Chain A
Amino acid sequence: MGGTIISNRIRQLRFENGEMTQQQLGQRIGVTRQTLNAIELGKYSPSLEAAFRIAEVFGVPLEQVFQYNSAKKPE
């Protein structure tokens, strides 16, 4: 429970894409604003499908959105 070993750049990408809100991005990928907030804060690792949808919205490859920190141990 809690933090994950997957970090992400969603917040930065949202601001680089016209200061998109969490609500707007959430609606486009089919999750609630609270779930998107949990993903941004690393409290929840999204499904592969949701991760691909996020990358698709920003028009970037998946690895530019999510990074796997193998040095960090899972909790």
Chain B
Amino acid sequence: MSFREKSAWITLIAMLMASALFALHAPRLSHPGPWDFHALLACIAAFVVIETVVFLVLRLRYPQDARTPIDERERLINLKATRLAARVYVIGSFLAVLTLHHGASAVMIGYFVVLAFVIAEIVKFSARIIYYRRGV
């Protein structure tokens, strides 16, 4: 497994863990308050900490792999995965705006846009792993 595939796994797992943490809090979001924003920040912080620590351990364990410059296949994988994620994000954001017609508040729409971004990122890193494993 290449260093960048390992990195994709780390980011995906860290993102899923942080999302799961926030999902536990989701039922409160029907009446959002300041505490919800703090919960969101805490989940983002948890994601950054998990990813940074695991990534540093990986870098120390495989220093040569970490220094290897990105090659043409990896660049193509990143482009294809990012294109897919961009579509998910655009559709998700559009759906988030549509919730305005169902009585969603501005704060709720904000949370839906964040949700669209998180789903798009999960799609991006999942797609990268699939392309690394199945070929591109």
Residues of A with Cβ closer than 8 Å to B? 1-3, 30-35, 38, 41-44, 46-47, 50
Q: Among A3, A32, A50, which residue has its beta carbon within 8 angstroms of that of B74?
A: A32
Contact A1 B135 (CB under 8 A): yes
Number of interface residues of B (CB under 8 A): 14
Residues of B with Cβ closer than 8 Å to A? 1-2, 5, 68-69, 71-74, 131-132, 134-136
Q: Among A3, A30, A31, A33, which residue has its beta carbon within 8 angstroms of that of B135?
A: A3
Contact A31 B134 (CB under 8 A): no
Given contacts A32-B2, A34-B2, contact A2 B72 (CB under 8 A): no
Q: Among A33, A41, A42, A47, which residue has its beta carbon within 8 angstroms of that of B72?
A: A47
Q: Which of B5, B73, B132 has the most CB of A within 10 A?
A: B73
**Least CB distance, B83 to chain A, in whole angstroms:** 14
Q: Which of B5, B71, B134 has the most CB of A within 10 A?
A: B71
A to B CB contacts below 8 Å, 17 in the list: A1-B131, A1-B136, A3-B135, A31-B71, A31-B72, A32-B68, A32-B73, A33-B2, A35-B73, A38-B135, A41-B135, A42-B135, A43-B134, A43-B136, A44-B73, A44-B136, A46-B72
Contact B72 A35 (CB under 8 A): yes
Closest to B130 in A: A1
Contacts of A46 in B (CB 8 A): 72-73
Given contacts A32-B2, A34-B2, A34-B5, contact A1 B73 (CB under 8 A): no
**Least CB distance, A69 to chain B, in whole angstroms:** 16
